[in-house]
Amino acid sequence: MTRQYFGTDGIRGTVGKHPITPDFVLRLAHAVGRVLKQTEARPTVLIGKDTRISGYMLESALESGFNSAGVDVVLLGPLPTPGVAYLTRAQRASLGVVISASHNPYPDNGIKFFSAQGAKLSDAWELAVEAALDTPPVWADSASLGKTRRMEDASGRYIEFCKSTFPNALTLKGVRIVVDGAHGAAYQIAPKVFHELGAEVIAIGCAPDGININEKVGATHPQALVDAVKAHRADFGVALDGDADRLQMVDADGRLFNGDEILYLMVKERLSRGGKSSSKRAADAVPGVVGTLMTNMAVELALKDKGVELVRAKVGDRYVLEELEKRGWLLGGEGSGHLLALDKHTTGDGLVSALQVLQACVRSGQTLAELLADLTLFPQTLINVRLQPGQDWKANTQLPLATKAAEAELGNNGRVLIRASGTEPLVRVMVEARDAAQAQACAERIAATLR
């Protein structure tokens, strides 16, 4: 079966347009509640959100929908997506719910879910929810309605969890860090995490007003971080996105490091300490890392030189996670900055990933550039082509011809990847080659056939 509402990361869209409307979200919560009650008499769900103004409306709709199905609700307030995942597991809740559209601009919003173990849910679970949406509601009677309460110390609990992933023997004293919260869910939390570990913190992108989330700041607009690091002569810069599950970093020279580079550094740091990138659950597995179809070819080759296999999953952190769990491996991620260290957390966490990088730098006494001196990324050109309403891009007869021509030109020195976005009406054209000009030219020719 094909999912009607769920994309690669929950349900997302423009607020006020189906399905991101209060009536649909109420029905969605009611349907989820009914699915939960098939296996649990009195479920409890946690609800967190980012800083979008629409979060209030959607939170109320979710609360009503869950309560109407006889499900209790705990409101967490503004909290990073990985914070909701952590608290869901720590509180032994039935489900975690996040109201966020991640890196999208403020007119968008979305709903995503975490299991009781703090992990993304399966396609089968999402299909069960969609099936329940197609059936009439079964309203609980007054005596069976769910109740709602607020967890006042949710952010403090998550701060302590983040700090626990940084070695007790190390400190960030003497380190100056610019922290960019993208005016999002970590706007209060992120500066405190680094400050309480000893760092001098300069905060930017930490003044949300409901409509400025991800606006010219954060992991998707890292120039603000680059400029601030230079202006304040900081040692590091850390940029998160709106829900703080994505990370980009900057060094003292203002050089930007993406998720592919950070993932490689995390693997290299583990290996330098005699650690493994595979877990004890599958100790006989070949040490390996999971990337995606978009992971830079240079990372794959550099890992191979260290005897570490790279396996590519479909784009989306949920698919990276599925592949990691299937193989019993620990480390994976995407160039966008979604990074997974399953011995630290069950899901991608921008703050935890940043602390892994800082740990490597503090322990080695080296800069980011020094630690990554043996990795030079291949140039990638990514062009997003927005689709017109009703446009069937797969029926385009010129696209396969242009793609084959580009692949023939690149040979063994590059690759072409064309895929539809799971969250927006876009087709992403990516060309990777040793030569940047060649990658750009090939990508432009392919994209032109879609416009």
Active site residue 102: yes
> Quick one: which of 185, 241, 145 has its CA closest to 55?
185
Q: Which tokens sit at 92? A: 């032994």
Quote the CA–CA distance of 61 and 124 in Å, as a whole number: 24
Which residues are CB-contacts of 425 (< 8 A; sequence separation ≥ 6)? 386, 387, 389
Rg (CA), the chain: 22
Which residues are CB-contacts of 373 (< 8 A; sequence separation ≥ 6)? none
Q: Is 322 helix (H, G, I), strand (E, B) or coil?
A: helix
> Quick one: which of 131, 57, 104 has its CA closest to 422?
104
Classify burial at 299, counting beta carbons within 10 Å of its beta carbon; exposed 0-12, middle 13-18, buried 19 or more.
buried
Dihedral Cα 222, 226, 232, 237, nearest 10 deg = 60
Contact status, residue 194 vs residue 165, Cβ threshold 8 Å: no
Q: Which tokens sit at 62? A: 């979710």
How many Cα atoms occupy the beta-carbon half-sphere of 130 within 13 Å? Answer: 16
Alpha-helical regions (H) of 138-216: 154-164, 189-196
Instruction: Report the side by side order of strands in the sheet with 426-433.
Output: 380-386, 426-433, 414-420
H/E element, 298: helix 297-305
DSSP labels, 34-62: HHHTTT-SS-EEEEEE-S-TTHHHHHHHH
Buried b / exposed e over 204-239, threshold 16 CB at 10 Å, is bbbebeeebbbbebbbbbbebbbebbeeeebbbbbb
237 forms bridges with which residues in the sheet? Answer: 178, 250
102, 115, 155, 277: which is the annotated catalytic residue? 102
The residues carrying an active-site annotation are: 102
